[in-house]
Amino acid sequence: MESIVAASADLARGEVEARVALAALPERVFRALTSAEICDWWVRPGVFDTRTWTGDVRVGGLWETTGIGQTGPYRMAGAFIAIEAPRRLAHTWTVVGAPGGVSTVTYDLEPAGQGTRLTLHHAGLNVAPICEATWKGWETSLARLAELMRS
C-alpha cells in the first residue's frame, strides 16, 4: 500500500487537510492516535520532538503532550470532543503559551483493503505562520505514522 501524504493548507481560512493510506487496519491506527505511541510519530525533525503523551480517551477527557522544539520545551493540550472508535476521533488542540488559541483536529479513518485511509482536518489555525508550520508538521508526522504502520 502506497503511503504518500497529500496535505494542503488554506492559510486564509486557517485550515489544514491531509490524507494518507496506511498499511494497518483502522483499529490499529486508532490505537496509534490515542496512546503514548504518539511519541513515536508526532515529530518534525529539527522542529519538534514529542517526548510524553497522556490522555483520558473519552468525550470530555483531556490529553497532553510535551516535547522539545527549536525554541525549547513545549506543551500541547486539549480535550476529546468526538470518539467513534475506530472510525473517527476529534479533539481540541492548544499549544500552551503560544499565540493562536484553540484549534480542532479531526481524524476520519476509512477501511481500505487491508489498510486504512486516514483523513485529517485541522481547523481554527487563525495565525497564518502557525497554520503553515502546522501543515508541514502534519506532513512529516503522518509520513512517520505511515512508516510505523508498515512495520
For the chain, domains (ranges, CATH) are 39-118+137-151 (3.30.530.20)
What is the predicted pLDDT for the residue at 47? 81
Q: What is the mean pLDDT of the chain?
A: 94
Distance between CA 41 and CA 148 in Å, rounded?
A: 8
What is the predicted pLDDT for the residue at 98? 85
Residue numbers of the chain with a pLDDT score lower than 70: 1-3
Residue partners of 22: CB distance under 8 A and separation at least 6: 1, 3, 29, 115, 116, 117, 118, 145, 146, 149
Provide the Cα torsion 71, 131, 116, 27; round to 10°: 60
What is the predicted pLDDT for the residue at 99? 84
What is the predicted pLDDT for the residue at 45? 76
> Which of 19, 4, 20 lies closest to 121, judged by CA?
19
126 CA to centre of own chain: 17
